[in-house]
Amino acid sequence: MNQSYEKQSIENNPMEASYDRPMGVTLLAILLVFGGLATLVTQMIAFNNLNETASLIGVSGYFFQGAMAFLGLLGVTAGVGTWLGKKWGWWLALFYFAYAVIRNINVIISITSMLELYAGAYDVLIPAYLKYGVRIIWNGALLVYLCGETVTTFFKNEAVKKWKALLIVFGICVFIYIIGTVFNGLVV
């Protein structure tokens, strides 16, 4: 059998290829797809409730629904790309977890201002700080894992400087939060 036929056969039927996907990448891909689908399904089921929640926390319903759809689609797309071992899948997964870190930091910063809405229910402070603090640590650990040598070798991203990649995705996250804050202020 000639070599070009074997290559063409593998390209046409990716199930014949030998993948050395790290187990952690497989688990992340499944986590991202299921998490993204769960977000989208929840959004569809609880559409009206999410609009009410948006008004309670002082954001536009359009903004809140858009953010939910964005996160759901991002999770599914990052999961598929990660499963397939595509470079763009690695970048989207990196962005997804960086966005989660920034989102949870934002929640921690916002907790004290939210207490005014709940008449100073300070008994929720420590559990909330713990919950979102653990989420920051978890998503940060996933970022560290994604930047590990085994993972970047699988995605053929060895040449990418990890600190630059993290600066890029965190910069995009901060830009999205700035734009979201401005947009939300105009729509509310």
Could you list the pLDDT tens digit for every one of the 188 residues in the chain?
445 444 444 455 555 444 689 999 999 999 999 999 999 998 888 777 777 777 776 777 777 788 888 999 999 999 999 999 999 999 999 999 999 999 899 888 887 777 766 665 667 777 888 999 999 999 999 999 999 999 999 999 888 899 999 999 999 999 988 887 777 655 44
Give 149: exposed, middle or buried? Use CB within 10 Å, 0-12, 13-18, 19+: exposed
* pLDDT > 90 in the chain, percent: 51
Which two three-digit tokens encode residue 53?
Answer: 């929640």
CA pseudo-torsion sign 151, 156, 162, 165: negative
At 52-62, the pLDDT tens digits run 777 776 777 77
**Which is it for the CA torsion 91, 95, 96, 101, positive or negative?**
positive
Q: Give me 132's structure tokens.
A: 């979102």
Distance CA 165, CA 98 (A): 11
pTM across the whole model: 0.79
